[in-house]
Structure 1
Amino acid sequence: MFFKSRRAQLSASTAVVMALSFGAIAQAQETSDDTDVLGTIVLGESKRDVQTDTAIPTTIVDQDEIEDRQAGTIAELIDSVPGVTLVNGSTASGSGINIRGYGANSTFGTDQKVLIQIDGATKGSEELYRIGTQLYTDPYLYKQIEVLRGTIGSFEYGSGVFGGVVLLETIDASDLTGGEVGFVGRQTLEFTSNGGGISSSTTLAWQPTTDMEFLLNYTRRTLGTRTDGNGNDINPLAGDVDDPSYVLKAKYTFGENRDHSLSFSYSKTQQEQFDVPYDTFGTTAFGNVDRLIENEVAALRYNFNPVDRNWLNLTAELTYSDELVLSEAIGAANALLDADNRYQTTTLRVKNSALFVTGSVDHELRTGVEFIQRTRQDASAGSAPGGTKETVAVFVVDEMQIGEGWTITPALRYENQTITQDPVNGTSTYDKDGLMGGVSARYAFANGWSVFGSAAYTENLPIIDDIANPVLINQSERGRTYEFGVAFDRADVFTGGDQLSAKVNYYTTNLWDLTTYRSFVPGGSTIAIERQGIELEAAYALQNGFYIDANAHVSNGTATIETGTTSDWAQNPADSFRLTLGKKFGEALDLSWEIEAAKRYDEGGTVSAGYGVHSLRATYVPQAGMLRDTQIRIGLENAFDKAYQPRLSTRLSTGRNLKVSLSKTF
């Protein structure tokens, strides 16, 4: 019987891989023809696995890639995923994540259409004005980030997901100890030339027995003030950002067959800035503030997974998220600048994964219920109205394997929420519910090809921020997404020992009854959006260590305002492409060249110049001698110091930046 994992690999055709490779090389003006095949022969392996076993568009950034990219922010870490666009990705407090044209924009750090979870705890502000994303955390704390694009894979995590889901998992002690009794430590130091940034990450893992494990990570990152390709400071008034972060974790496995486990995790990141612009996007001079940002996540999880009962894999988890932004105006009091924003979210989630068979159909049935309480602190002068949102949600996802080729997965989610005003402002209460869901289908041929498609409907229920508006607080945003594509995944395609996997995915999204994108001009608010796009991911590797990774996103979209006028959607991302050429010399050395390119955007009177930016990376891991268990990484980003401004960003990006990191395991 075949029970496949939900997180598996995507892919596409050989022709697409070749077309992308030649297309990127044509754009790159500085390349190397050196494809030396000397070195230890290893199995064909690229830098990133392209997921192939699912109709869900998903990309996984694992720990090796997290370390390889040497990112300063989480946003910088996932900008290589097709469909993901950064808003000011080089600034810690102003950066935001946009997926398929939804998420962060130049007004709010989020539009509630991209969902972010850390160890199961949902993160993100509501309409927090011009303070950027609420994902204040450090990349060193994590071992994996999964990005689910679109709606079809979102029903286990939340509602109103039109852009996608970002799932972050913090590191575990067993990732270092390998599950063996003992103590393992890892120290990482990193230096960045642009801005003079310095980072230190210390990880201590201890397993006193095979059943107990403990982990502590403490990271301190100083980003400094970076310069763009013209040599000008990027947001110089924000000063030097010094971010301490840490994570504590413990896990106890017990029971006669070690089928019970109890785990706890706690992470925190803090950031202080003094006399900095209130507007982290740098577009409007509201005035300066002293600002303190704290981000806390705690999770307690129990799992019971008996080996003799396939129908039972029960997880109960209690998560708590606390996001705090304290601001104090420099000079005279100001309602906006003095507004303190705090979001506290407590979630109790019980879910089960059952494996069973009905006739010729193998099922993986995932069911769950969630109880969520979200409290928003009332800010001064009503600039951010406070209140409490209580939500009860139920989801069902049945992944059905039919015969050798078909996988059909229906999914449903029901949510009921009650929003209550903060007593300071009144006693009004608003109830709303929604039933949403979708279905995906995939057929895999025996020769490595597969085809897939999906249809999904979701609702974004009203938010606390709209509690003072009698119309918006009773209106859900609605949307449908349709996707279909083709994938390919096989070894020994062109020569013995090579590996090719690739996937092309087309999507179309239609949103209506929108309340998020409001205009101060009467009749000018956006009420409907239609977007279409094509995403591609591809990877090819040879036994001699040579590999190619490529991805692309091409899209367009229109928006309709209240008067009925239709025009290009203001948050359309630019068409983008990324290609990596690399060579692995056994387990010791990995050299790669990457080009990130974007097409000129010229729609609706808005122009964003196209660009091509080159980066070089090298990782050296000595296999013997004094430096064994040491990793030396060198990255040269924006190697030719190009001045460029990505579409949707309000500032130029970072110029040439040399990154050097040294990591030692002991």
Structure 2
Amino acid sequence: MTRKMLRGSTALFVALCAIPALPAVAQEGTTAGTGSQDAVSRGFLGTLWMTPGKRDLSLGSAVSRTTIDAEEIADRQAGTIAELLDTIPSVTLINGSTPQGSGINIRGYGANSTYGNDQKIAIQIDGASVGSEELYRIGTQLFTDPLLFREVEVLRGTIGSFEYGSGIVGGVVRLETKDASDFTGGVPGLRIGQTLEFSSNTAGATSSTTLAWQPDDRAEFLLNYTWRQQDDQIDGDGDVIGNSEFETPSWLAKGKYTFGQDDDHSISLSFSRTTADEKDVPYDTFSTTAGSFGNVDRTTETQQATLQYGYNPVSDLVDLTATLSYADQKIDYSYVPGSSPLEVTPTWPFLEATVNAKQRYETTKLVVKNEARFLTGGVAHSLRTGAEVSRRVRKDNDASSAPGGEDNRVALFVIDEMTAGGFTITPALRWEKSKVESAENYGDYENDALMGGLALAYEFDNGLSVFGSYAYTEGLPIIDDLGSAAINDWRMSTTEKAETWEIGASWAGTDVLSAGDNFSVRGNYYSTKMWDVTSYSASGSTTENLSRIETEGFEIEASYGLSNGVYFDLQGSTGQGTEYADGVPDTDWRNQPATTVGLTLGRKWGEWLDTSWEVRHTADARDALLEDLPDYTVHNLRATWKPQNGALEGTEVRFGLENAFDLDYTGNLSSRKAPGRTYKLGITKVF
């Protein structure tokens, strides 16, 4: 451990050791202070502690989990999914202010300067797997609009991932679309919701219209249309950020019907679709100018559909769900003649095959799982078992940088939460088998792997929880790994292996410093080692892969609130890593997260007004070329006004001022500058 990490660990250790001396806490079912609700959801994911601030904390869990609810989604007025996540510890946004070229990096894995995903993070929309293809210089292609969602959950690390996939080192991003009952309040009737948002940087505008109908207590239906656009943005130095203009209309249709004796059966269907039609824009979405690849006309269509059946009878042994999902994305490129300086060079035929291309990939997945609750002696079990079958097809592909083919997989998983007294012991296993079939005579390859982990947690009576975990995972080769015979002999027959250790503690309590106050904190240290690396080449080489990657870091989240409505939210993380390759000097891990700390100071006046000032400082950052960046501090102001009576009752007005001091800076691992000062106004009304 380096001296810098040792200083961080010492500070965190001292802070956590001081916590147990503080008094009393709220247990499950008790009130967590002024403005809070009951604590819920204990077990493997811990207790969701309702804080008086912007975000509830997951305590007493070995899984590092952060949940952003509908209220925070609305308050942040984010233009992209990536922008919703920038205050979560260890999450790095790469060019996050536009759908094109943006990416999500967690603990140093995920999006990077070449691809939108390195398969070390998973992204799901209502259970459908999205944003996982490795398309050169294109980003995650996660175009879906933030206003379609009621909740975003981020699981950091491997230990909580075995239910969702293999080879996950960074974490999982799970997005859940809105339900009609979010607008009707569960009461039969018809409601119409309308949201308008405006942004000063530059000419940004959004309209989101929702029709929610609940004919009775058993059925609900929702239809949403959201249109979002912005012109090229301006950075803090007053210069135009090229390639930052976009227009993305989105649709969401969703329905649910509950039936049977005691309403123990349910069936739901959701469908969402987002499109983007760009003219004469750089092929390289990470760049602000045409560059070597030139400009293209590009049309992107992305859609997801999920059909889910649920069976939850009056039995502790059965809580069954079967989820069939389908994700489809199609990208058509048409090169703009004369826009590339390499058009007259011998390398042009190769580049032309990339910039004049059609790419389409579809993922169909069926997941059946059950949760059984039972006792064995003095141990309470919550046993989740499941089976998954998936088929990913990349077709209509004529780009040399993206091979076509099929990836068929079957997986089984079992997770058993065992609770006895204050102890929770959770073993987890996942077995997965894949067969990748090339559409271009590269051959067929089969692989399988058994992976798993163990999580331990102990909750004391005074509100202190301590936890630790070990997780091992393997990433099976994918379609993108296909290539020449020399490459396939090793890369298509090798699984990437990774193990992660975590340890931490959390505490929560009321009446800590004054009557009616509420304090909660969670901190954890992680250490990850990955070997048999197939997805990253050694620096300066196109043939020699890294032999291993080692990363470590700290994460902390805390919230404190007073009875008068004043609250403080804190998030922070620091991390570093080293990459190793034979015959090459050890170097810093190219995608390591920066050191960040964010503090939000706010006050709530009952239900009608919430004002906050958010400060976020970043140190040890590097740009996409791995050049050191100066430290930077960004200030954001927000206010939410909800009139409780009169003609405006039921209206929500939101004001935001982002990058309030017009700072000129580039975010960690980004290839573009961040937007300068931006005023935002949002108005929502449900009729």
Q: Normalized against structure 2, the TM-score is what?
A: 0.89
Letter in 2 for 1:341: Q
Determine the structure 2 residue equivalent to 1:487. Answer: 506
**2:324 pairs with 297, 318, 322, which one?**
318
Q: Is the CA contact (8 Å cut-off) linking 1:173 and 1:205 kept in structure 2?
A: yes
Measured against aligned partners, the alpha-carbon deviations of 1:305-348 in whole angstroms (never above 9, x if no partner) come to 012x1010010111000011111111277111012221100001
Q: Is the CA contact (8 Å cut-off) linking 1:550 and 1:580 kept in structure 2?
A: yes
Determine the structure 1 residue equivalent to 2:599. Answer: 579
Q: Give the distance between the partners of 2:494 and 2:626, measured in 1 at CA.
A: 31
The equivalences for 1:491-510 within 5 A come to: 491-510=510-529
Letter in 1 for 2:530: L
Measured against aligned partners, the alpha-carbon deviations of 1:605-662 in whole angstroms (never above 9, x if no partner) come to 8311110010100000000000000000000000000001111001110100000000
2:587 is the alignment partner of 1:567? yes
Determine the structure 1 residue equivalent to 2:380. Answer: 362
CA displacement at 1:42 relative to structure 2: 4.7
Q: Give the distance between the partners of 1:563 and 1:462, measured in 2 at CA.
A: 25
2:660 is the alignment partner of 1:639? yes
2:401 is the alignment partner of 1:383? yes
More moved, 467-476 vs 317-326: 467-476
Q: Is the CA contact (8 Å cut-off) linking 2:380 and 2:419 kept in structure 1?
A: yes
**2:465 pairs with 450, 455, 459, which one?**
450
The equivalences for 1:372-521 within 5 A come to: 372-377=390-395, 379-380=397-398, 382-403=400-421, 405-422=422-439, 425-426=440-441, 428-468=443-483, 469-470=487-488, 471-518=490-537, 521=541
Letter in 2 for 1:661: G
- Equivalenced residues, count: 628
Q: Is the CA contact (8 Å cut-off) linking 1:328 and 1:339 kept in structure 2?
A: yes
Q: Give the distance between the partners of 1:605 and 1:279, measured in 2 at CA.
A: 18
Q: Give the distance between the partners of 2:282 and 2:547, measured in 1 at CA.
A: 32
In structure 2, the CA distance between the partners of 1:522 and 1:242, relative to structure 1 (3 Å rule), is closer
Q: Is the CA contact (8 Å cut-off) linking 1:42 and 1:544 kept in structure 2?
A: no
Q: Is the CA contact (8 Å cut-off) linking 1:374 and 1:388 kept in structure 2?
A: yes
Q: Is the CA contact (8 Å cut-off) linking 2:99 and 2:141 kept in structure 1?
A: no
Determine the structure 1 residue equivalent to 2:22. Answer: none
Q: Give the distance between the partners of 2:228 and 2:171, measured in 1 at CA.
A: 28
Q: Give the distance between the partners of 1:277 and 1:564, measured in 2 at CA.
A: 34
CA displacement at 1:94 relative to structure 2: 1.1
Letter in 1 for 2:245: D
**2:74 pairs with 64, 67, 73, which one?**
67
Measured against aligned partners, the alpha-carbon deviations of 1:575-618 in whole angstroms (never above 9, x if no partner) come to 01111000001110001000011013479983111100101000
Q: Give the distance between the partners of 2:396 and 2:531, measured in 1 at CA.
A: 29
SS at match of 2:676: coil
Determine the structure 2 residue equivalent to 1:86. Answer: 93
Q: Give the distance between the partners of 1:495 and 1:533, measured in 2 at CA.
A: 33
In structure 2, the CA distance between the partners of 1:484 and 1:198, relative to structure 1 (3 Å rule), is same
SS at match of 1:607: coil
In structure 2, the CA distance between the partners of 1:239 and 1:549, relative to structure 1 (3 Å rule), is closer
In structure 2, the CA distance between the partners of 1:328 and 1:17, relative to structure 1 (3 Å rule), is farther
Q: Give the distance between the partners of 1:289 and 1:45, measured in 2 at CA.
A: 48
Q: Is the CA contact (8 Å cut-off) linking 2:214 and 2:221 kept in structure 1?
A: yes
Determine the structure 2 residue equivalent to 1:654. Answer: 675
Letter in 2 for 1:233: V
Q: Give the distance between the partners of 1:269 and 1:224, measured in 2 at CA.
A: 18
The equivalences for 1:127-138 within 5 A come to: 127-138=134-145
In structure 2, the CA distance between the partners of 1:257 and 1:69, relative to structure 1 (3 Å rule), is same
CA displacement at 1:467 relative to structure 2: 1.9
Q: Give the distance between the partners of 1:591 and 1:663, measured in 2 at CA.
A: 17
Determine the structure 1 residue equivalent to 2:340. Answer: none
Q: Is the CA contact (8 Å cut-off) linking 2:413 and 2:428 kept in structure 1?
A: yes
Determine the structure 2 residue equivalent to 1:32. Answer: none
Q: Is the CA contact (8 Å cut-off) linking 1:390 and 1:418 kept in structure 2?
A: yes
Q: Give the distance between the partners of 1:493 and 1:392, measured in 2 at CA.
A: 50
The equivalences for 1:102-501 within 5 A come to: 102-235=109-242, 238=243, 240-282=245-287, 284-307=291-314, 309-331=315-337, 334-377=352-395, 379-380=397-398, 382-403=400-421, 405-422=422-439, 425-426=440-441, 428-468=443-483, 469-470=487-488, 471-501=490-520
More moved, 627-636 vs 594-603: 594-603
CA displacement at 1:546 relative to structure 2: 0.4
Q: Is the CA contact (8 Å cut-off) linking 2:113 and 2:669 kept in structure 1?
A: yes
Q: Is the CA contact (8 Å cut-off) linking 1:523 and 1:563 kept in structure 2?
A: no
Q: Give the distance between the partners of 2:454 and 2:473, measured in 1 at CA.
A: 12
SS at match of 1:474: coil
Determine the structure 2 residue equivalent to 1:532. Answer: 552
Q: Is the CA contact (8 Å cut-off) linking 2:123 and 2:132 kept in structure 1?
A: no
SS at match of 2:252: strand
Measured against aligned partners, the alpha-carbon deviations of 1:341-368 in whole angstroms (never above 9, x if no partner) come to 2110000111001111110011110000
In structure 2, the CA distance between the partners of 1:322 and 1:350, relative to structure 1 (3 Å rule), is same
In structure 2, the CA distance between the partners of 1:346 and 1:365, relative to structure 1 (3 Å rule), is same
RMSD: 1.9
In the alignment, structure 1 segments of 5+ residues that lack a partner are 1-11, 20-40
Q: Is the CA contact (8 Å cut-off) linking 2:667 and 2:673 kept in structure 1?
A: yes
Q: Give the distance between the partners of 2:448 and 2:68, measured in 1 at CA.
A: 34
Q: Is the CA contact (8 Å cut-off) linking 2:265 and 2:310 kept in structure 1?
A: yes
Letter in 2 for 1:612: T
2:625 is the alignment partner of 1:592? no
More moved, 626-635 vs 599-608: 599-608
CA displacement at 1:291 relative to structure 2: 0.4
More moved, 564-573 vs 61-70: 564-573
Q: Normalized against structure 1, the TM-score is what?
A: 0.92
CA displacement at 1:525 relative to structure 2: 3.2
SS at match of 1:565: strand
Letter in 2 for 1:443: Y
Letter in 2 for 1:475: T
Letter in 2 for 1:408: I
**2:631 pairs with 599, 610, 620, which one?**
610
Q: Give the distance between the partners of 2:364 and 2:518, measured in 1 at CA.
A: 44
Letter in 2 for 1:587: E
In structure 2, the CA distance between the partners of 1:545 and 1:387, relative to structure 1 (3 Å rule), is same
Q: Is the CA contact (8 Å cut-off) linking 2:521 and 2:556 kept in structure 1?
A: yes
Identity over aligned pairs, percent: 50
Q: Give the distance between the partners of 2:530 and 2:574, measured in 1 at CA.
A: 19
